[in-house]
Structure 1
């Protein structure tokens, strides 16, 4: 039987947090966690709800505990382009910069673990573990942005769909501490409409390519959202990525 990613229960105790060992606090010691506890609070957003608009002041920074949010930019003529996704354990906000650079919208129901900006920035100056982990996450985000340039610019529709499923599957497996070398089942948190918008494809193309991946045995589907990856390495073959290029984050 494949392992399954279950819906998580959000604990207010940091020691039980599902993203504890991937988030910005991953390297923190007990006393540092207690300090973070004193400045944190949770915020929930419904699917489609705006978390922050570009140009608005963001008086907190946050880790995504559950759900997916999209980053997008709007041009003067109203055209919009999604430029990134925030997945569980990703970091929202930039220390030292209070103005949001992108529109951030909840693609699914989202729970954020928020930290008041002032105390968090002070803690960064005195706690190397926070600064080190944030640097690691920033470099991972840079790698992901480069991957996304390749995906949008060079990959076929099938490779784009496979890449997006692989990214989400890998993150779900990491949160669940599951070895992705064996079969894994998870809930795909994005509608096909959202996938089309994010990948620059039509809805019909997304549906056709998802069906093709299912028909070829690369993925298994139950209902609209439950996805099983029988063989993760076969899925990775479908992404078109260099096998020696390192893991997607």
Structure 2
């Protein structure tokens, strides 16, 4: 039996509805989880009580704090979701005896660190057009062609799993700004928006240029 099969035997599958939280910031770290389907927001509380989104977790991502004692952020479902959940103590005992799995976990941790750095850049330094373009490209890479319900779609065609208000909250923008940027990108033939959730990226290279350095749309 391979390590992945052995690993799955120590976990249990659970379902969460949109809006439910799995892990709370500041609580003792008791579980870790692998996301099977759905999206999650990672949030932290500011001193004045406001919520700050610090990242998005996608299918195949791990959430939780293995080898740690306290959760550093709250993990809340943005969509209906399924996860494979593991006791942290079981996970901590399993990983050292299975170096290949431990290596994969380390790689995921480094990927998460890179993503966190990109997220800081996105929220702190990018303009509204850059933020929306970056968001669309990341959604394309993470959602298009992943999972059985999107296997027959082209890479740059996907359904947004949440509405524009949530996109605005994620990007630190107003819903009016998000809608305006999407409309401008559609009018410039960068994207097509058959409805409020479906996105078709027509010019991924031009969109990538916008995401990295503001260009007139």
On whether the aligned pair clears a TM of 0.5, the verdict is yes
Displacement after TM superposition at 1:106 (Å): 0.9
- Matched-pair contact (CA < 8 Å) for 2:34–2:62: yes
TM-aligned CA distance change 1:167 to 1:116, over 3 Å: same
For structure 2, which runs of at least 5 residues remain unmatched after alignment?
none
Give the TM-score normalised by structure 2: 0.88
Name 2:137's counterpart in structure 1: 166
Q: CA deviation at 1:113?
A: 1.5
With a CA cutoff of 8 Å and minimum separation of 6, indicate the structure with the bigger relative contact order: 1
1:133 to 89, 104, 114: 104
State the Cα RMSD in Å.
2.1
Q: Under a length normalisation based on structure 1, what TM-score does the superposition of the two structures give?
A: 0.78
CA distance in 1, matches of 2:169, 2:163: 10
Cα contact 2:134–2:211 (8 A) shared by 1: yes
C-alpha contact (below 8 Å) 1:183/1:228 kept by paired residues: no
Q: Secondary structure at the match of 2:212?
A: coil
- Paired residues for 1:67-216 under 5 Å: 67-173=38-144, 175=146, 184-216=156-188
Stretches of 4+ moved more than 6 A in 1?
none
Q: Does 1:32 align with 2:3?
A: yes
Measure the CA separation in 2 of the matches of 1:81 and 1:140. Answer: 21
* Matches of 2:102 and 2:145, distance apart in 1: 22
Aligned length: 210
SS at match of 2:83: strand
State the shift of 1:85 in Å.
Answer: 0.8
